[in-house]
Amino acid sequence: MSHSALEIDNWENIGSSFSYNHYSSYDGLNIDAAKLYYYLKEKFGKSTVSYSLFSKYFPERKFVLPNVWCYLFRYNSYYVVITGDDKINIAVFSSTDVPSNLDYEIFSNNMNEILKRISLEKYVENSYEVYVNYSFYLKNIISEYKKSISKKLPQAPEQISLNHEDINAENPEIKYKYIEFGKDYNEWLKAVLEKSQSSLMVQILLPIHFETLINLAFRVKLKKEYRSDEKIFGNDPERRLDIYQFFERLTVPKKIEQIKEKCFEVDRDKINQFLKLLRSSYELREKRNKYLHGNALYFQNLHLKYLVDDNYLIGFPDRGRAMRAIASSISVTTEDKNIISTIKIYEELCEQFKSIFNDNNYFRKLVEGLAFLHNSNYGGTVSIGVNKYEDLFAPLDLK
């Protein structure tokens, strides 16, 4: 038999503060937290206390949830606080004696016997699954590439010309001059290539990031009446499409219209403003698509022209100057005004889209996190405080 303070039939659910001289606690009792929570709720009703009042008595939570369940019970001069995550944390406060670790372990065994008879089947529709936010990954990758784009290119070294005799000469000054030019040129070239590749990656990824935000919004904000695998969408009766498959096949403007029609918490004025921006950016977005998908040449030619006669290339510079001409052509792409405008418009579209819901910026906060919980039956979502990669690493400064 456990300590009398831990006899559950003695408890009374209260919501008031109390005074105490002693307390003891046990963190991580091996009790099914979900079963215990619903058992306590059915037996004692809803809790009326806030976890924040007692959080200092328990381990610091790594994942900061919007609400943490917590119960406060009283038996004579004892006050019992129960909370938990996947395991149970419990503390007992008293003006006299408090339970020992052995008492808590006996309580755990007793509760597990009771909970064997508990079924959670009727609560299955309250189940939330972990979803990883793909748009978060894309945003972080884009941010890293943008850092490279924003870097100023080093000054390109002046071209030097050395004849055959100079290269083979034993003159250390000439060799030093040539080696230093090569180092400066290679440093400049690496910076040009990095900036050019980063520019290309941002152009590729930004539209993908933009559409992942749209797809995510549709999934988490879709009204309950449309969440049915039995409903068929589209005009082709031979192809059975559920609502999500149907949505994925739409163009971006049609997707926005579907969100406007079928999602909850949509701010009509804001989504209409967003649609205006989307339509006004059509020409620029089309140029981007043709530029990257239409087999267009990515690198500029700098208007350099050379003659070919009888399969002889006439006037094309030898190794050093030829490399420089190609590298210079690549560097021009990093300053293309259309590219800069395209990046800006997609960033503006992403930012404005995050604000089309009248939900106290909940969707905006959700997409800026790495993961969240989602209920596919009702469309509800819960942030779990994983807002950066660092949140996934185990702490090394244990206290």
Question: What is the chain's alpha carbon radius of gyration, rounded to the nearest angstrom?
Answer: 32
Please report whether residue 368 resides in a domain: no
Q: Compute the distance between CA of residue 28 and CA of residue 20 in angstroms, rounded to an integer.
A: 23
- Number of continuous H segments (helices) and E segments (strands) in the chain: 12, 10
290, pLDDT greater than 80: no
Does residue 110 sit in the same domain as residue 148?
Answer: no
Q: Say which residues have a Cβ less than 8 Å from residue 8's Cβ, sequence separation at least 6.
A: 43, 111, 114
297, pLDDT greater than 50: yes
Does residue 110 sit in the same domain as residue 257?
Answer: no
Residue ranges making up the domain that contains 56: 4-126
Does residue 165 sit in the same domain as residue 284?
Answer: yes
Does residue 116 sit in the same domain as residue 141?
Answer: no
The pLDDT of residue 235: 61
Contact 222, 240 (CB under 8 A): no
Does residue 151 sit in the same domain as residue 35?
Answer: no
SS3 content of the chain, % helix, strand, coil (to 5): 50, 15, 35
Contact 392, 130 (CB under 8 A): no
Please report whether residue 199 resides in a domain: yes
The pLDDT of residue 287: 72
Does residue 22 sit in the same domain as residue 99?
Answer: yes
Q: Compute the distance between CA of residue 99 and CA of residue 91 in angstroms, rounded to an integer.
A: 9
Does residue 173 sit in the same domain as residue 35?
Answer: no
Q: Compute the distance between CA of residue 65 and CA of residue 52 in angstroms, rounded to an integer.
A: 12
Does residue 85 sit in the same domain as residue 111?
Answer: yes
Q: How does pLDDT run across 223-259, given as a tens digit for each residue?
A: 988 887 556 666 666 667 788 888 988 999 999 999 9
Q: Say which residues have a Cβ less than 8 Å from residue 233's Cβ, sequence separation at least 6.
A: 241, 242, 243, 245, 246
Please report whether residue 373 resides in a domain: no
Q: Provide the whole-model pTM.
A: 0.75
Please report whether residue 204 resides in a domain: yes
The pLDDT of residue 284: 76
Task: Tell me which of 87, 109, 126 is where a domain ends.
Answer: 126
Does residue 274 sit in the same domain as residue 182?
Answer: yes
Q: How does pLDDT run across 65-101, given as a tens digit for each residue?
A: 668 899 999 999 999 999 988 889 999 999 888 999 9
Does residue 117 sit in the same domain as residue 266?
Answer: no
Contact 214, 353 (CB under 8 A): yes
The pLDDT of residue 30: 93
- Number of structural domains in the chain: 2
Task: Tell me which of 86, 106, 126 is where a domain ends.
Answer: 126
Please report whether residue 153 resides in a domain: yes
Does residue 155 sit in the same domain as residue 304?
Answer: yes
291, pLDDT greater than 80: no
